[in-house]
């Protein structure tokens, strides 16, 4: 069974640009969550989608947005990039949206560098 895949794996952008990251969950998984990992702030929750609906959103500015498609694939978008957006962006998928029963499986991440 293929794991969570994220594309691209590495990305370099300049300030002010926008970027779209993609996540393909494990087959059959309907929940996708996104996290930002930085040396200073650690792992921080961005958002969670289940059946194309955003269920939870972390404490990030409106420049960060996401969506989920009917095939459960998800994208996140960051507009007007800032230097501080440089990070590893992790995607996790699970069968459902119940952390009690549904283990989250993480992807390898997309390394975003903003110059």
Partner 1 sequence: AQSVSQHNHHVILSEAASLELGCNYSYGGTVNLFWYVQYPGQHLQLLLKYFSGDPLVKGIKGFEAEFIKSKFSFNLRKPSVQWSDTAEYFCAVTPNNAGNMLTFGGGTRLMVKP
Segment contacting partner 1 (CB under 8 A): 16-24, 35-43, 62-70, 75-83? 35-43
Residues numbered 54 to 93 that lie near partner 1 (CB under 8 A) are 55-56, 58, 90, 92
User: Is residue 113 close enough to count as binding partner 1 by CB under 8 A?
Assistant: no
**49: nearest Cα among 86, 94, 9:** 94
Phi/psi class of residue 70: alpha, beta or left (left: φ > 0; alpha: ψ in -120 to 50)?
Answer: alpha
Site for partner 1, rule CB under 8 A:
3-4, 31, 33, 35, 42-45, 48, 50, 55-56, 58, 90, 92, 94, 97-100, 102-109
């Amino acid at each position: 069974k293929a794991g969570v895949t994220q594309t691209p794996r590495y990305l370099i952008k300049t300030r002010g640009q926008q970027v779209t990251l993609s996540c393909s969950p494990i087959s059959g998984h309907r929940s996708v969550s996104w996290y930002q990992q930085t040396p200073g702030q650690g792992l921080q929750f961005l958002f969670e989608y289940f059946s194309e609906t955003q269920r939870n959103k972390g404490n990030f500015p409106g420049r960060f947005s996401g969506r989920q498609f009917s095939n459960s694939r998800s994208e996140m978008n960051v507009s007007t990039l800032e230097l501080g957006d440089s990070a590893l962006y992790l995607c996790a998928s699970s069968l459902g949206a119940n952390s009690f029963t549904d283990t989250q499986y993480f992807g390898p991440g997309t390394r975003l560098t903003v110059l």
